[in-house]
Amino acid sequence: MLKTNFIKNTGLLFSGSLIAQFIGFFAVPILSRIYNPEDFGALGLFNSIVATVSVFSGLRYEMAIVVEDDESKAKGLTQLAVFWNLIIGLILLLVTALFKDQIAAVFGINKSNWLYLVGPVISLSGVLESLVFWRNRQRNFAKISTNRILSSGGSTALKLAYPLSKLAGNGLILGHSLGQLIAVIHLAYKSGISFLDYNIEELKVLMKDYKQFPLFSAPAALVNTLAVRMPFFLLAYFGSLAETGYLDNASRLTYLPMSMLAMASSQVFFERIARMKKDKESSAKMSHQLINFLFLLGVVPVGILFVFGHDIIPWILGPEWSESGVYVEILILFYFSIFLTAPFSSAFETYNKLKEQLIYNIAFLAFTTAAMIGAYMYYDSTRIALLSYAGIALALRLVVLNYFFHLFGRKLFAKTLVGILLLASVIWLLNILKVSVF
């Protein structure tokens, strides 16, 4: 029964994520011919800012929503996360109004009015994440699945239609903002969460009880997201918005689909592991079933993109996007490691390893950022900078994956070696095919 429910719930979220990704994926070849690399570069930078801030704008109280046993307290934690998301979004809107020109100058942004949307969309993204955890706690996975489809559909529709309006502005950023708004409205409707009626005293007690989340989990999440998003910031700073655009579409066709699928399984896994964390045998068994499934799901597509990415991507996006194909080949193994590790990252919260999480994420950020900056300074090459980043990041991801399985009760070292050998075999066979065909 346990396995059946897990597969059923994961399937619900997978199906919604797949449909949402298909909508966005099949729109990319059209969008890449409507918008230029600089437009996508602005979108990539916008999404990086939003993702980096929104991951801690609720002070990580949303991570406690599923863990909390008491329903009333879980509802209070949801309100608490929503409250802080709104406050931080408002503060950032004021900061943008005061320092927009200075921010634009740092990243070489010419048309910078889209910066005004950063604060509001950070609030929307943070509130959305809180509501997803609330619905996850209720096991309303069908609602979450439908939400992803509505968000992706609304966002993509505006991105495609906006150029027809002849209005100024970046339609990619406006479309993304609309998608977030649709998603929040959909999940908030009949959620049982009041956004106006707060019990201040109860919220103060919850803030005290869960003070470790803003103290340790929030900084750890910030550092983790910043490490993943750092290439966008560094490309905009050392390179250009066009190169940031190449990276954005490279990740849009590879990292984003994989991360959405990983997120679908992680939400079900988090809810399940939080309830069985004391049962090492069951948690270890379920963890190994999930890692096996994820690896087999991704190994062949990853191998194909690693070998043929520079041929496939320009065919999808158009000839001016050939650099995106090179970026895919450089980054795909690292993206695959994120796909494999992301569902298990909730182990830090589940087993109260928040200090360890913070230490790991700081190390990840420090090593990968140093690698990129050093490559830029020594070689002045975006390709080498990304290669340096990806190599170190991949090794660190494999280390933390083994740590997660140590917490679950069954080590993964042997399976890691088998996985590396299997992936290497797939890549070797594809290279032989490539030589024989071309």
CA distance 330 to 309: 9
pLDDT in single tens digits along all 438 residues of the chain? 445 566 666 666 667 777 887 888 889 999 999 999 999 999 999 999 999 999 999 999 998 888 888 888 888 999 999 999 999 999 999 999 999 999 999 888 888 899 999 999 999 999 999 999 998 888 787 888 888 899 999 999 999 999 888 787 899 999 999 999 999 999 988 877 777 777 788 888 899 889 888 888 888 888 888 988 999 999 999 989 999 999 999 988 887 777 766 766 666 666 666 666 666 677 777 777 788 888 888 888 888 888 888 899 999 999 999 999 999 999 998 998 888 888 887 777 777 787 888 888 899 999 999 999 999 999 999 999 999 998 899 888 888 888 888 777 766 655 565 566 566 656 656 555 554 444
Contact between 97 and 109 under an 8 Å Cβ cutoff? The reply is no
Tell me how many domains the chain contains: 1
CA atoms 141, 142, 143, 147: torsion sign: positive
**Residue matched to tokens 């992936």:** 423
C-beta separation of 410 from 287 below 8 A = yes
CA distances from 259 to 17, 107, 252 (A): 10, 26, 10
How many C-beta atoms surround the C-beta of residue 226 within 10 A? 21
Region class of 59: left (phi > 0), else alpha (psi between -120 and 50), else beta: left
Structure tokens at 150: 């509505």
| 167 backbone φψ class: left, alpha, beta (φ>0; ψ -120 to 50) | beta
Q: In this structure, what are the phi and psi dihedrals at residue 108, rounded to the nearest 5 degrees?
A: 65, 40
- Asked if 172 and 40 touch (Cβ cutoff 8 Å), the reply is yes
Q: What is the pTM of this model?
A: 0.81
Going from the C-alpha of 247 to that of each of 40, 130, 262, 294, 313, the distances in angstroms are 9, 29, 21, 24, 12
Closest CA to 273 of 327, 179, 353, 369: 353
Distance of alpha carbon 351 from alpha carbon 407, whole angstroms: 8
DSSP collapsed to 3 states, 67-118: HCCCHHHHHHHHHHHHHHHHHHHHHHHHHHHHHHHHHHHHCCCCCCHHHHHH
Per-residue tokens: 309: 């990415």
Locate the DSSP E strands across 249-351: none
CA–CA separation, 248 and 126 (whole Å):
22
Closest CA to 338 of 265, 281, 409, 242: 265
Q: Can you tell me the distance from the alpha carbon of 383 to that of 405, in angstroms, rounded to the nearest whole number?
A: 33
Residues 148 and 200: beta-carbon distance below 8 Å: no
Q: Please count the other Cβ atoms lying within 10 Å of the Cβ belonging to residue 285.
A: 17
Provide the domain limits for residue 50: 2-437
d(CA 185, CA 124): 10
Contact yes or no for 245/39 (Cβ under 8 A):
yes
